[in-house]
Amino acid sequence: MNIYGITKEKLEEYFLSIHEKKFKAIQVFEWLYQKRMNEIDGWSNIKKEIQEKIRNDFSFIMPKIIKREIDELTEKYLIELEDNEHIEAVLMHHDYGNSICVSSQVGCNMGCAFCESGRLKKVRNLETHEMVCQILLIEEITKERISSVVVMGIGEPFDNYEHVMDFIKIINDAKGIAIGARHITISTSGLVPKIKEFMNFPLQINLAISLHASNNELRNQLMNVNKAYNLDELLDTIRAYILKTNRRVTIEYVMLNNVNDREENALELAKILKGMNVYVNLIPYNETNHLEFKKSTKNQILKFYDILKKNKINVTIRKEFGSKISAACGQLRSKEVER
């Protein structure tokens, strides 16, 4: 197992299994994540024989950044994994700090019609360490701290549930990367059984739902997942999640020109979300050469926004990032695959 993919609790179990004190797990975490030292020989408070045991039992191999594209407030990274597969991570600079969008799979099987990531099918799930290392690598290259994380890159996080949950435990751990739970968001296309499971997750992580349509007919056209878990079932599950956790849910809604951005769509959306503790994030679409969808006009996005506001729906318009680089999720990877 890779050392960066093991939670502190599992590392404690490891040390107990080799008849050592479990507090050594804290020491290892401090070396890896606070001091950022993966040269075991320098772990001065851990005996040489234990160092050797760790060296034999764990891998320390990290993925490699092979391409970096920089826009004014955005940096996009192409990362090569040990098996020569590729993923992306995106760093966004805000006035309140740096956020990173991490990938959870190599490719994606959700097959959303407008998404570049889903155009290239899922190859495999990412291991926990391959998600953790996206943060470590980018902090190392930028020399800046990342203060918030969204699991919203390539892949469906809830289709890789166990690895993603371990990733969250490591980055949230006070002895790990120490990112606050309220600064971590998971986005799902609507895997209802996993949303129900996530209700019981002990950390107060934010949940975002990629909705992108105001009725079943339209959502069936845009998102294959709706054929398995339709809009009514999804909305009932979101209500149950809010009731159980008392946390607000983000509704992601990508604005597609003359597809889901009409006045009737805004009115429908307001109606189905009425009374729910949610806020809607309207997302200007990032166009790609491979897909026919176009971005809604600024006027149309503002009209949509106004209709939701008038119907007392909390709504924001996402600031556009990365317009001068391969902005669409999966675009940089698809270029590499095609090359």
Catalytic sites, residue numbers: 88, 329
Residue-wise DSSP of 54-97: HHHH-B----EEEEEEE-SSEEEEEEE-TTS-EEEEEEEEETTE
Q: How far apart are CA 5 and CA 124, in angstroms?
A: 16
Question: For the chain, what's the residue count?
Answer: 339
Give CB contacts under 8 A, 24+ apart, made by 217-222. Answer: 218/259, 218/260, 218/265, 221/113, 222/112, 222/113, 222/114, 222/256, 222/259, 222/260
Q: How far apart are CA 193 and CA 213, in angstroms?
A: 20
Residue in 251, 248, 245, 247 with CA at minimum distance from that of residue 231:
251
Q: What angle do CA 98, 99, 100 make, to 5 degrees?
A: 130
Burial class (CB in 10 A: 0-12, 13-18, 19+), 337: middle
Q: How far apart are CA 88 and CA 276, in angstroms?
A: 33
Residue in 156, 161, 167, 246 with CA at minimum distance from that of residue 206:
246
Structure tokens at 16: 């107990």
Q: Phi, psi (5° rounding) for residue 6?
A: -115, 130
111 contacts 118 by C-beta, under 8 angstroms: yes
